[in-house]
Amino acid sequence: MIERTVRHLYVHLPFCAHRCGYCDFVTISGRARDHSPYIHALLREFELERHVLAPELETVFLGGGTPTFTEPSELGRLLHALPPAAEVTVEANPETVTPELALLLRRGGVTRVSLGAQSFQPKLLEVLERRAGPDAVRRAFYHLRDASFDNISLDLLYGIPGQSASDLDRDLSEVLALEPEHLSCYELEAKPGTRFTYAHGAELTHQAEAMETYFERVVETLTAAGYRWYETANFCLGPHRAAGRDLRARHNLGYWLGRDYLGIGLGAVSTIEGVRRRNTPRLAVYVTALEGGSPPAREVETLDREVRSRERLMLRLRLDEPLLLEPVESAVDHEALGRLVGLGLVRREGSGGRTALTLTPRGRLLGGGVTAELLA
């Protein structure tokens, strides 16, 4: 029996006002009447699983869906029932952020809000089927600041169909003008089977070459503005602009450092002591099981040492800090490593047991391919 060791908790709130065309997360649109039974079930699952949690949590993360779309009374009930933690993050969509909601979050112990801005160009937001316009994004940001949130992250998407390089530059300067503590920048992926891929897939393929430099552009602009590119797709204010605070997303850092985490809620994933399990993504199945006092149906995957080493390699190389080679040695193709070092994509420092690997800036731009090649 695993007891009281896990320091990271993820809570999934699947409800959204509307499912965006490009989304392939576990989400449920509308259905306000489902919110209360769901929160009820969620708290039951929490009671069943809380024994694995350490007495003091480092992070709690409420992700979605759109957690802030959940009925405010239910959201408030949930926040008060969850244990406190050094970092409590809630994902929010701009159109849901009112002064009241900001206050509710604040009072519920939330320390950090991750705001899904995506873009500041009305035409691109339309392509993405986002409801909030650019003004709503800015307004939401100010409401959060007014509620004295001093750790706000913005999500930005690039590579949107029809997005020109100057559109991207405009988005970046809009973002910088708000001075968020943290930024997540993702290339839009046309995931198979989504409505979006159906509508825009061909166009995206066509533009792929033109958009190839956008990632570099994002990295250059943000680092020049004093942000630290600490993970492949994540940036935080650098030390000299952060007054000594470490503004990296601590919850996500937990994933990238290979720490154990408990996930509760619909489709949520936990990884604890080499076992990864995923809750059912079906709402009725989930709620019914927990109403009857049983844990929800789960997919279970056992991670052997090799797999854990590979994951560690894959995740750690996303970070800007050196990775000690020794613990992941068996996962590394040494011939490939030599080749990649020769190509200036990987930096190898130290020697013997202190040998550490870091991707060079160009290696980070090609991180997926580099990691795939590096895997034994």
Partner 1 sequence: MPQDRIRNFSIVAHIDHGKSTLADRVLELTETVSGRQMRDQLLDSMDLERERGITIKAQAVRVAWKGHQLNLIDTPGHVDFTYEVSRALQACEGALLLVDAAQGLEAQTLANAYLAIENDLEIVPVVNKIDLPQASPDEAAGDLSELIGGSPEDVLRISAKTGDGVDAVLDAIVERIPPPAGVPNAPPRALIFDSSYDQYRGVVAFVRVVDGSFSTREPLRTMALDTRFEAEELGFFSPTMSPTPTLQAGEVGYVITGLKDVSKLRVGDTLTSESRSASEPLPGYKDVKPMVFAGLFPTDSDDYPELRDALEKLKLNDASLVYEPETSQALGFGFRCGFLGLLHMEIVRERLEREFDLDLLVTAPTVAYRVLTKDGAEVEVHNPAEMPSEIERIEEPYIKASVIVPREYVGAVMELCNDRRGAFDHMEYLSEQRVLLLYELPLAEVVIDFYDQLKSRTRGYASFDYDLAGFREGELVRVDVLIAGETVDALSLIAHRANAYPRGKQLVERLREEIPRQMFDVAVQAAIGSRVIARETIKAKRKDVLAKCYGGDITRKRKLLERQKAGKKRMKQVGAVEVPQEAFLAVLNLDGGKR
Interaction pattern, residues 277-296, with partner 1; x per rule: CB under 8 A: -x------------------
DSSP assignment string, 284-309: HHHHHHHHTT-PPPEEEEE--HHHHH
The radius of gyration of the chain from alpha carbons, rounded to an integer in Å, stands at: 21
Length of the chain: 376
55 or 342, CB closer to partner 1? 342
Cβ neighbors of 9 (< 8 A, separation 6 or more) are 53, 57, 59, 60, 61, 82, 83, 85, 261, 262, 263, 264
Confirm or reject binding of residue 153 to partner 1 (CB under 8 A).
no
45 or 102, CB closer to partner 1? 45
Shortest Cβ 321–partner 1 spacing (Å): 16
Shortest Cβ 20–partner 1 spacing (Å): 14
Confirm or reject binding of residue 368 to partner 1 (CB under 8 A).
yes
Interaction pattern, residues 5-34, with partner 1; x per rule: CB under 8 A: -----x------------------------
Interaction pattern, residues 328-347, with partner 1; x per rule: CB under 8 A: -----x-----xx--x-x--
29-68: contacts with partner 1 (CB under 8 A): none
Owner of token pair 């994002």: 218
Judged by CB under 8 A, the number of residues near partner 1 is: 44
User: Cα–Cα distance between 121 and 170 in angstroms, integer?
Assistant: 8
| The token pair that represents 210 in the structure block | 């033109």
34 or 333, CB closer to partner 1? 333
Confirm or reject binding of residue 150 to partner 1 (CB under 8 A).
no
Confirm or reject binding of residue 261 to partner 1 (CB under 8 A).
yes
DSSP symbol at 319: B
Q: Which ranges constitute the DSSP H helices of 119-258?
A: 122-127, 134-146, 165-178, 195-207, 214-224, 250-256
For the chain, the farthest-separated pair of C-alpha atoms sits apart, in whole angstroms, at 60
| The token pair that represents 90 in the structure block | 């809630």
Residue from 59, 267, 289, 357 in contact with partner 1 (CB under 8 A): 267
| Cα–Cα separations (whole angstroms), residue 216 to 212, 220, 224, 372 | 8, 6, 12, 20
Confirm or reject binding of residue 129 to partner 1 (CB under 8 A).
no
Confirm or reject binding of residue 213 to partner 1 (CB under 8 A).
yes
Interaction pattern, residues 231-250, with partner 1; x per rule: CB under 8 A: -xx-----------------
Phi, psi of 176 (to 5 degrees): -65, -30
The closest of 194, 231, 206, 177 to 25, measured between CA atoms, is 194
119 or 232, CB closer to partner 1? 232
Neighbours of 162 (CB within 10 A): 14
182-201: contacts with partner 1 (CB under 8 A): 186-187, 189
Sheet-wide strand order for 356-359:
323-324, 356-359, 346-349
Residue from 310, 323, 325, 337 in contact with partner 1 (CB under 8 A): 310
User: Cα–Cα distance between 66 and 62 in angstroms, integer?
Assistant: 9
Residue from 222, 268, 323, 328 in contact with partner 1 (CB under 8 A): 268
Confirm or reject binding of residue 366 to partner 1 (CB under 8 A).
yes
Shortest Cβ 99–partner 1 spacing (Å): 29
Shortest Cβ 98–partner 1 spacing (Å): 27
**Binding-site ranges for partner 1 (CB under 8 A):** 10, 186-187, 189, 212-213, 215-216, 232-233, 252, 255-256, 261, 263, 267-269, 271, 276, 278, 301, 307, 310-311, 314-315, 318, 333, 339-340, 343, 345, 364-373, 375
